[in-house]
Structure 1
Amino acid sequence: MPFRVLVVDDSNFFQHRLKDIINEHPELKVVGIASNGREAIDKAAELKPDIITMDFEMPVMDGVTAIKHIMSNRRVPILMFSSLTYEGAKITLDALAAGALDFIPKDFAEVSRNSEALKKKLHERLITLAGSGSRPVPPAAVTSVPSSTSGTPSINSSFKPLSTPAPLPRVAPVVTDEPVRASSGSDSYRLKNKPKLLVIGASTGGPVALAEVLMALPANFPLPIVLVQHMPENFTKAFAERLNKQCHIRVREAVDGDQLQPGLALLAPGGKQLMLDKRNGGSVRVLPDDERVNYKPSLDITFGSAANNYADKVLGVVLTGMGSDGCNGARLLKEAGSSLWSQDEASCVIYGMPMAVARAGLTDKVLSLKDIGPRLVKELM
Structure 2
Amino acid sequence: MAVKVLVVDDSSFFRRRVSEIINADPRLEVVGNAVNGKEAVEMTKRLQPDVITMDIEMPVMDGITAVREIMQAAPTPILMFSSLTHEGAKATLDALDAGALDFLPKKFEDIARNREEAVGLLQKRVNELSRKRVFMRRPLRTAASAQAAASATGRDTARPLSSARPAATATRQPVRTAPAKTPVRFKASGKKYQLVAIGTSTGGPVALQKVLTKLPANFPYPIVLIQHMPATFTAAFASRLNNLCKIGVKEAEDGDVLKPGMAYLAPGGKQMMVDGRAGSSRLRILDGGDRMNYKPCVDVTFGSAAKVYHDKVLSMVLTGMGADGREGARMLKSNGSTVWAQDEESCVVYGMPQAVAKAGISTEDLPLDRIAERILVEVGLA
TM range (shorter): 0.7 to 0.9
Q: Distance in 2 between matches of 1:18 and 1:312?
A: 47
Letter in 2 for 1:197: L
Larger gyration radius, structure 1 or structure 2 = 2
Q: Distance in 2 between matches of 1:62 and 1:118?
A: 25
SS of the counterpart of 1:297?
coil
Q: Which residue of 1 aligns with 2:352?
A: 353
1:108 Cα offset (Å): 7.5
1:109 Cα offset (Å): 7.3
Q: Distance in 2 between matches of 1:334 and 1:108?
A: 37
Q: Which residue of 1 aligns with 2:217?
A: 219
Q: Which residue of 2 aligns with 1:37?
A: 37
Q: Distance in 2 between matches of 1:321 and 1:108?
A: 20
Structure 1 outlier segments of 4+, above 2 Å: 108-111, 190-193
Q: Which residue of 1 aligns with 2:367?
A: 368
Q: Distance in 2 between matches of 1:340 and 1:53?
A: 34
Q: Which residue of 2 aligns with 1:264?
A: 262
Letter in 1 for 2:52: I
Q: Which residue of 1 aligns with 2:21?
A: 21
SS of the counterpart of 1:281?
coil
Q: Aligned-residue CA RMSD in angstroms?
A: 2.0
Q: Is the 8 A contact 1:272 1:296 kept in 2?
A: yes
Q: Which residue of 1 aligns with 2:342?
A: 343
Letter in 2 for 1:232: P
Letter in 2 for 1:295: Y
Deviations 1:100-122 (A, max 9, x none): 111111128799xx922221111
Letter in 2 for 1:103: F
Q: Distance in 1 between matches of 2:216 and 2:127?
A: 39
Deviations 1:37-86 (A, max 9, x none): 11111111111111111011111111111111111101101111110111
Letter in 2 for 1:345: E
**1:231 maps to 2:237:** no
Deviations 1:186-227 (A, max 9, x none): 154x33530100001111111111111111110000000000
1:185 Cα offset (Å): 3.7
Report the CA distance shift for 1:13/1:228 in structure 2 as closer, same or farther (over 3 A): same
Q: Is the 8 A contact 1:278 1:310 kept in 2?
A: no
Aligned identity (percent) is 56
Output aligned runs, 1:154-303, within 5 Å.
185-188=184-187, 190-191=188-189, 193-279=191-277, 281-303=280-302
Deviations 1:104-155 (A, max 9, x none): 11128799xx922221111111111112211238xxxxxxxxxxxxxxxxxx
Output aligned runs, 1:117-128, within 5 Å.
117-128=117-128
Q: Which residue of 2 aligns with 1:330?
A: 329
SS of the counterpart of 1:270?
coil
Q: Which residue of 1 aligns with 2:92?
A: 92
Q: Distance in 1 between matches of 2:184 and 2:213?
A: 18
Deviations 1:350-373 (A, max 9, x none): 111111111211112222112111
User: TM-score, normalising length from structure 1?
Assistant: 0.84
Q: Which residue of 2 aligns with 1:155?
A: none
Q: Distance in 2 between matches of 1:62 and 1:115?
A: 28
Q: Distance in 1 between matches of 2:354 and 2:99?
A: 23
Output aligned runs, 1:97-176, within 5 Å.
97-107=97-107, 115-136=115-136
Q: Is the 8 A contact 2:76 2:136 kept in 1?
A: no
Greater relative contact order, per chain length (Cα 8 Å cut-off, separation 6+): 1
Q: Which residue of 2 aligns with 1:174?
A: none
Q: Which residue of 1 aligns with 2:147?
A: none
